[in-house]
Structure 1
Amino acid sequence: MDKFDQKILNELQRNARQSVSAIAESVSLSRSAVSERIKRMEDNGDILGYQVICKPQTTTSVKAYFEVRHGGYHCESIAEHALLINGIKVCHGISGDLDLVFYAETESLSMLHDIRSKLDNIPNIGTITTHIVMNEWKKT
């Protein structure tokens, strides 16, 4: 691999969709010479492939439910505190062994961990169990 091959590789890494003509102009070689060199580098395994790099998703990607037990009659005050936490979308007071269930949506596991830490600091909460949503099916 010579300096021209390296320049071609640099150009392809910068923008693999640019035309062979644009690369040729940039590296001061003819279009046919650049085409031949690219083909040779592909055949030799110097170029393994081309890829698309997508913009990171900005939509919510982590959803979770928090089971909350408190052992008293503090549901409303705990729910009010929880709803102040960014990411908590819904608080449900429920019957049975649990006292409350919170639904949260956030962009990352670290942000979910922050929500959990803030829930731990709410007065009168006993235990919290976290359930991360792995799959979701919706009725259409």
Structure 2
Amino acid sequence: MKPLDAIDRKLIALLQDNARLSTVALARAVGLSRSSVQERLQRLEKGGVISQYTVRLGSGGDPLQAWLFLRYAEGFSCDDVMPLLVALPAVRACHSVAGEIDMLVLVQADTPAMLSEVREQVAAFKGIDDVTTIPVLRVMLDRG
């Protein structure tokens, strides 16, 4: 199977958010025709990336996860940064916190290079002063 591209990752993220989205809605969201989206979904299913529509990532290997600890630049807040984070399909969760850091962001990627790319995108956002990356080695408990 060929490597996942940005559209494949966007389709997966959309289905993870709502596995009941119609092919037409998915096509509209990624700017492709319905038939192109159907072909991509069939390829993802045959390749084992989508194993069922609860959506679970399949035999493509366990995705990599990392927590990004963000500190805002002076004068910026969660409200400034959230629209930028929501636009990234790799962002799986965001938590506003108090203390030395301002936000915890859970990101997921297929390869270390993709993880690095996401981290660099976030670090380049206007309003972000510092990013510390904490890779997840093993998930010991996830009740979510």
Q: TM-score range by the shorter chain?
A: 0.5 to 0.7
Structure 2's unaligned 5+ residue stretches are 1-47, 49-57
Q: Name 1:92's counterpart in structure 2.
A: 95
The answer as to whether partners of 1:92 and 1:101 remain within 8 angstroms in 2 is: yes
The answer as to whether partners of 1:60 and 1:105 remain within 8 angstroms in 2 is: no
The letter for the 2-side match of 1:131 is I
The answer as to whether partners of 1:86 and 1:115 remain within 8 angstroms in 2 is: no
The answer as to whether partners of 2:64 and 2:110 remain within 8 angstroms in 1 is: yes
Stretch moving more, 57-66 or 112-121: 57-66
Q: Name 2:63's counterpart in structure 1.
A: 61
In the alignment, does 2:128 pair up with 1:102? no
Q: Name 1:115's counterpart in structure 2.
A: 118
TM-score (norm 2): 0.54
In 1, distance between residues paired with 2:85 and 2:91? 7
Mark the CA change 1:132 to 1:139 in structure 2 (over 3 Å): closer, same or farther: closer
In the alignment, does 2:73 pair up with 1:75? no
The answer as to whether partners of 2:76 and 2:127 remain within 8 angstroms in 1 is: no
The answer as to whether partners of 1:89 and 1:104 remain within 8 angstroms in 2 is: yes
Residue 128 of structure 1 aligns to a residue whose secondary structure is strand
In 2, distance between residues paired with 1:108 and 1:134? 14
In 2, distance between residues paired with 1:103 and 1:69? 15
Residue 123 of structure 1 aligns to a residue whose secondary structure is coil
Max Rg structure: 1
Deviation at 1:135, TM superposition (A): 1.5
Q: Name 2:30's counterpart in structure 1.
A: none
Moved over 4 A (4+): none
Structure 1's unaligned 5+ residue stretches are 1-54
In 1, distance between residues paired with 2:120 and 2:142? 33
Deviation at 1:60, TM superposition (A): 4.0
How many corresponding residue pairs?
Answer: 86
The answer as to whether partners of 2:77 and 2:127 remain within 8 angstroms in 1 is: yes
Deviation at 1:59, TM superposition (A): 4.6
Mark the CA change 1:139 to 1:120 in structure 2 (over 3 Å): closer, same or farther: closer
Deviation at 1:117, TM superposition (A): 1.3
In 1, distance between residues paired with 2:98 and 2:118? 24
The answer as to whether partners of 1:66 and 1:102 remain within 8 angstroms in 2 is: yes
